[in-house]
Amino acid sequence: MSKVRLATVWLDGCSGCHMSFLDMDERILEIASRVEVVYSPLVDPKEFPADVDVTIVEGGVSSEEDLHKIRMVRSRTKLLVALGDCAVTSNVPGMRNTYKVEEVLKRAYFENADLKQQVPSEVIPRLLPRALPVHEIVPVDVFLPGCPPPADVIFGALVSLLDGTTPDLSATRFGR
């Protein structure tokens, strides 16, 4: 049996969900024996490949880059998993949503900066008007709420997805 092609992507999140993923400790070997990690901040490839079976997304959709990326990821993925509150609810990145983008940038790059007060025009992708949960942009197949979701829940969910059963999410919730 060929291995399941697994990818993980990191949008607007703090990397805490990826950390929680790694927190499953030696059980990650059991996952590793059943999947091939084809793309992730944790592995080398720089291009998101075609024909991915499962992609786990951390983070909300906040910038034009996130938007482009999540659409591309969705089009190349069979099963999309929203991992953690930022991906599921927009959570902390969404706290700026009651303000206009200009107000947010002014706060960050002028009021809270002493030197070189200016909004960067290169390298940093432009912010969308609001940071949104992944499923408000593209369809999501599985939701794992939590900030971050406990390693046990991530492990359990992955195993059931690999087994083709429905994950038990009763042990995780918004926040913790």
Partner 1 sequence: MSARPPAKSAAPVASSKVKTLTIDDRLVSAREDESILDAARQNGIQIPTLCNLDGLTPVGACRLCVVEVKGSNKLFASCVTMVAEGMDVVTDSERLQRYRKTIVELLFSERNHVCAVCVSNGHCELQNLAQALGVTHLTVPYRHPKLPVDASHERFVNDHNRCVLCQRCVRVCGEVEGAHTWDINGRGIGARVITDLNQPWGSSETCTGCGKCVQVCPTGALTEKGKSVREMAKQSRFLPYLTMMREDRHE
Which is nearest to 9 in space by CA: 25, 129, 49? Answer: 49
E strands, 102-174, in order: 127-132, 142-144
Count CB neighbours of 19 within 10 A.
Answer: 12
Cβ-based nearer residue to partner 1, 133 or 156: 133
- The H-or-E segment that residue 82 falls in is strand 77-83
**Distance between CA atoms of residues 11 and 70, nearest Å:** 8
Beta carbon of residue 166, minimum distance to partner 1 (angstroms, whole number): 11
Identify what 97 binds: ligand SF4, partner 1, none; CB under 5 to 8 Å per kind: partner 1
Identify what 55 binds: partner 1, ligand SF4, none; CB under 5 to 8 Å per kind: none
Q: Which residues of this chain interact with partner 1, rule CB under 8 A?
A: 82, 85, 88-92, 94-95, 97-99, 130, 132-133, 135-136, 140, 143-145, 147, 169-170, 172-176
Beta carbon of residue 83, minimum distance to partner 1 (angstroms, whole number): 12
Beta carbon of residue 171, minimum distance to partner 1 (angstroms, whole number): 9
Identify what 19 binds: ligand SF4, partner 1, none; CB under 5 to 8 Å per kind: none
**Distance between CA atoms of residues 102 and 84, nearest Å:** 28
